[in-house]
Structure 1
Amino acid sequence: MTAYSGHPAHPRRYVTAAALQPLVRDGRAPRLLDVRTPGEFRTVHIPGAYNVPLATLREHREELRAHLDEEVVLVCRSGVRAEQAEQALAAAGLPNLRVLEGGMNAWEAAGAPTNRGPERWDMERQVRLVAGSIVLATGLVGVFVPGAHLIGTAIGAGLTYAAVSNSCAMGVLLSKLPYNRGPRTDLRTVIAGLRATP
């Protein structure tokens, strides 16, 4: 097992950007599965990472499990989707799973190496824009249309539920837009790459 340190409170579940960076630099990194959308992955990702969006990973976890019998680090923007992916793969019986603590936010903040493509907004920023715009619009319309403010209240309730449940229905819907889908992730290509990597 590769020696790297994780989060002190969860030493077997998390790995920090500082601990992972030298392994990536020296070509000794564990398998890196980036579970963000293809659009997000194309914008910026860790060199050597494989893009397996969370929905694809959940649907094909048994197929992936057969090719992930060693250490795996799961990556997303902030760590939330990576934790969900960790739960899905652990339920399929895959050992040696880690989550990159703080996700790509922490990786970039540490000045670690990245591969970059065309810039686009990350999912969390898109959710804030859409939710804020709806609340603002319904608040203004509510001045003239009684009851319109209830739409903003519903959005607030949805955001509260998203925080409590650690999930986001709006993010799932936004991830289906062409802007976020980017090039389609072909599971066969990912599996072929996993097989080819020693």
Structure 2
Amino acid sequence: MTTPASLDPREARSRLDELTVIDVRTPGEYAGGHLPGAINVPLDQLGRALPDIRTAASRGEVLVVCASGARSENACRTLARHGVDVATLAGGTGAWAQQGHEIDRPRQGGGGRTWAMDRQVRLTAGSLVLLGLLLALLVHPAFQLLSAGIAAGLVLSAVTGTCGMAALLARLPWNRPCGADLDASLARLRNG
């Protein structure tokens, strides 16, 4: 597998006006803060958005972003298999913010913010490991298999660069796109 082209956050910032930026995080993560002008197309909706992303790429360069760069690299590979040439933001929105660049936060203050997917995965995995250990102590030693299964999944995730738990968590209501929101994103891609 080839590594997708990437742009450093400084270079991306200097060219932001000429790029179509697609954020492949969940809608909840996107609402928590994204690059100015970014269009939210969750990774699991990439197939549905393919014709519109292809249209955007025919008009100019497309930059795909996520929190750290891992999901956007997966998205770039998927798009490349379908003949769409895009680049990823090196280090994702984390690196972007770390360098002091502007982040749009449409839902600021108080509730309504969704945790980043990696934080959701850490909470879920840690909770399941603790649950397995407690059940093993209090109920039956076989519950240690729950903790072992979670540990094996985390190792597999690190080795493959994919995360089954994140894929499952992305299906929860607070991480799911509203139909109208995705339709609005696709319309923005079509119309430039």
Q: TM-score, normalised by structure 1?
A: 0.85
**Partner SS for 2:88:** strand
For the pair 1:67 / 2:62, whether they are aligned, the reply is no
Aligned sequence identity (%) = 38
**Residue type at the aligned position of 2:62:** V
Whether the 8 Å contact between 1:46 and 1:113 is mirrored in structure 2 is yes
**Residue type at the aligned position of 1:22:** S
Per the alignment, do residues 140 and 187 of structure 1 end up closer, same or farther by CA in structure 2, a change over 3 Å counting?
closer
> Which structure has more RCO (C-alpha within 8 Å, separation ≥ 6)?
2
Task: Report the Cα offset of residue 182 of structure 1.
Answer: 5.2
Q: How does 1:121-136 map to 2 (within 5 A)?
A: 121-136=115-130
**Partner SS for 2:36:** coil
For the pair 1:80 / 2:74, whether they are aligned, the reply is no
Alignment deviations for residues 102-156 of structure 1 (CA, whole Å, 9 cap, x no partner):
1011111111111112432100001000100111121122113121111100000
Residue of structure 1 in register with 2:45 after alignment: 56
CA distance in 2, matches of 1:36, 1:44: 11
Whether the 8 Å contact between 2:41 and 2:49 is mirrored in structure 1 is no
2:100 to 111, 128, 142: 111
Worse-superposed segment, 29-38 or 15-24: 15-24
**Residue type at the aligned position of 1:82:** S
Alignment deviations for residues 74-118 of structure 1 (CA, whole Å, 9 cap, x no partner):
0001111101110111111112x1100110111111111111124
**Residue type at the aligned position of 2:118:** E
For the pair 1:89 / 2:79, whether they are aligned, the reply is yes
Residue of structure 2 in register with 1:172 after alignment: 167
Aligned length: 183
More helix per residue: 2
Residue of structure 2 in register with 1:18 after alignment: 10
Whether the 8 Å contact between 2:133 and 2:144 is mirrored in structure 1 is yes
CA RMSD of aligned residues (A): 1.8
Q: TM-score, normalised by structure 2?
A: 0.87
Whether the 8 Å contact between 2:62 and 2:87 is mirrored in structure 1 is yes
For the pair 1:161 / 2:163, whether they are aligned, the reply is no
**Residue type at the aligned position of 1:75:** V
Residue of structure 2 in register with 1:140 after alignment: 134
Task: Report the Cα offset of residue 163 of structure 1.
Answer: 1.0
Task: Report the Cα offset of residue 63 of structure 1.
Answer: 4.4
**Residue type at the aligned position of 1:129:** L
Alignment deviations for residues 14-67 of structure 1 (CA, whole Å, 9 cap, x no partner):
10111112223xxx2311000011111111111111111111113442443133
Whether the 8 Å contact between 2:55 and 2:189 is mirrored in structure 1 is no
**Residue type at the aligned position of 2:47:** R
